[in-house]
Amino acid sequence: MTPLRQKMINDMKLRNFSPRTQYAYESAVAGLAQFFNCSPDMLNNENVQAYLVYLMEDRKLSWSSCNIVISGLRFFYDVTLSKQSMSLTIPPRKKKKYLPEILSTEELERLFVCACNLKHRSFLMTTYAGGLRVSEVVRLKLTDIDSKRMMIRVEQGKGNRDRYTILSERLLKELREYWKMYHPQLWLFHAKDPKKPMPIGTAQKIYYHAKSTAQIKKGKGIHTLRHCFATHLLEAGVDLRTIQTLMGHTSISTTMMYLQVTRKKLTSIKSPLDLLEIHDSKQII
């Protein structure tokens, strides 16, 4: 590891960046250096802008992906190299907003049944039952499952905040069966090495395999299960503030998105077409 790279890592650690942010920023700088085949501290503003054009035009990276690269490069030049003269900006663009696709209860049942084994099924059920982000569920420890209070402790979730979410009785029964078979020691869902948590990539593969086997076309990645958790709670009559707390949302406006996808309220509305008395066209003729 070069001294420059180590300095950047130390700068990020001092600012308490999450491991995922550190990895993303390191990758951004490494990609730039590889593109020009030279140390990034030897490049100028025009070089960096040319690299960003390459990412957008040639590699067709999404706007959000380019923004992550820009953030990483800006940190490297502004903080690590103290080159505030580097102007790394791209014109703002309206972000497209997509509503999540929600799985029905029947589809969720098929998904869990089609999981390869007890470990995979328990993992998917935990993600859904607690409304957890994939980065949170893979880092759950045995001690985070509080069967006395029927709660799951989420330690240092998004934004470096702790929170509690609900522990389902059905899930607790499933986890006890899982423990009897696999005997996890530290991490609830560990990697091949029991001392390490399950990689996020493995978690996504588990979800996609079960989804494919269940022949479910709706939804994207495993984050769909978190969307389902919030939407199904809302349809069951749970108030938005409680759902906000369980989800770990900083703002209630984020939670309010699920008002747009909840079936309970939308299906109770009658279309104005249903109010019209339309006679058969043959009778009119």
Tokens representing 242 are: 């409680």
Question: Rounded distance, CA 229 to CA 247, Å?
Answer: 9
Question: Rounded distance, CA 8 to CA 75, Å?
Answer: 9
User: Which residues carry out catalysis?
Assistant: 133, 158, 223, 226, 249, 258
DSSP letter for each residue of 172-189? HHHHHHHHHHH--SSBSS
Q: At what angle do helices 240-247 and 223-235 cross, to 10 degrees?
A: 160
Question: Rounded distance, CA 109 to CA 125, Å?
Answer: 10
CB 203 within 8 A of CB 108: no
